[in-house]
Amino acid sequence: MDSRKGIWIIAFGLIVAIICVAGAIALSRGGASKPAQPQTSENANAVQEGREERAGASSNAVQAQEGREETPRVVRQAISPEAQSYFDKGLDADEAGNYEEGARYYAKACEGGHMEACHSLGYDYGEGEGVAQDLKRAAELYQKSCEGGYILACTSLGYAYDEGEGVDIDYDKAVALYKKSCESGDALGCNNLGYAYDEGRGVKIDHQEANRLYKIACDDGEPLGCNNLGYSYQIGEGIEIDLGKARSLYKKACDDDEALGCFNLAELYKEGIGVAKSTRAALEYYEKACDLGDEDACEEAENLR
């Protein structure tokens, strides 16, 4: 899959006055991602990792994102006090690092009809966290949770079809699920749908529609959507080049702890694209991206030290 879109841009003099770069830079768009296990019972956080081309569907999640409590996560349903208690115990166990115990509690809560718990258990099976990794079982649990009204699970199931994790690759199903989650208010689903339009995965390529969806995701608090929209402004894909907006969007994504936004911002400062060239600023943002888990950024930072 392609979540590291290693795009090289070489400026040969007067291509665009504002992009006079001698050499090449790696620009990056982060793509579809799978929501991760929630950290609180009130707010399920979304995460992502593994951007193979720095622009594609990302694989199993590791970096949490906060501040989207207003997004509807689940259709209102009656949850028994017992199931809720099991789910809360699962969250507490995870927080304490007792993943096996957490998975056991999620299983009990899921059996009791707690759809968020089914998603959390699916995540555990997808990651092999507290249980033996079983991608097929993970996809089954995402489907149960999605059909039960837990919106993030629809995005997770869409990602499974996008990547062929536990199911056969089916871009049409992935798109349908991303649309469902996006229309239900999940910003990550909107980002993933935008990437589908960018790459023509299950839909006809439409960069303008992709940018519209990235903006929805960004405005709704998904930093990956901000990064992706910034990337479009950077290279003029489906939109007029605007390096100022690109920088601002990368900064917003970085401030929200999206490693890819920090990496792209560092690239601008390293090459002096739309900003004054600054090795110091580039190093600062590479180091932050590195701290957030971007191995390529770690290498870039080491090269600048």
- CATH number assigned to the domain comprising residue 217: 1.25.40.10
User: Based on the structure, what is the number of domains in the chain?
Assistant: 1
Q: C-alpha distances in angstroms, 241 versus 22, 58, 226, 231, 270?
A: 19, 26, 15, 10, 19
- Token look-up 């927080």 returns 95
Using one digit for the tens of pLDDT, what is the confidence trace for 62-106? 222 333 333 445 555 678 999 999 999 999 999 999 999 999 999
238 found inside a domain: yes
Backbone angles phi, psi at 144, to 5 degrees: -60, -45
Domain that holds residue 286: 7-73+150-304
Q: How confident is the model at residue 240 (pLDDT cuts 50, 70, 90)?
A: very high
Burial 157-181 (b: 16+ CB within 10 A, else e): bbbbbbbebbbeebbebbbebbbbb
User: Is residue 50 scored above 60 in pLDDT?
Assistant: no
114 found inside a domain: no
- Quick one: tokens of 256? 């929200």
105 found inside a domain: no
249 found inside a domain: yes
62 found inside a domain: yes
Question: How many separate helices (H) and strands (E) can be counted in the chain?
Answer: 13, 4
Which has more pLDDT, 26 or 261? 261
Residue 118 three-state SS:
helix
Q: How many residues does the chain have?
A: 305
The pLDDT value recorded for residue 36 is: 57
The whole-angstrom distance between residue 18's C-alpha and the CA centroid of its chain comes to 30
Cβ 194 vs Cβ 178: under 8 Å = no
Give the mean pLDDT of the chain.
82
285 found inside a domain: yes
The pLDDT value recorded for residue 38 is: 47
CA dist 278 and 67 (Å) reads 31
- Quick one: tokens of 2? 């392609």
Using one digit for the tens of pLDDT, what is the confidence trace for 113-145? 999 999 999 999 999 999 999 999 999 999 999
Cβ 117 vs Cβ 106: under 8 Å = yes
212 found inside a domain: yes
Q: At what angle do helices 187-199 and 207-219 cross, to 10 degrees?
A: 160
133 found inside a domain: no
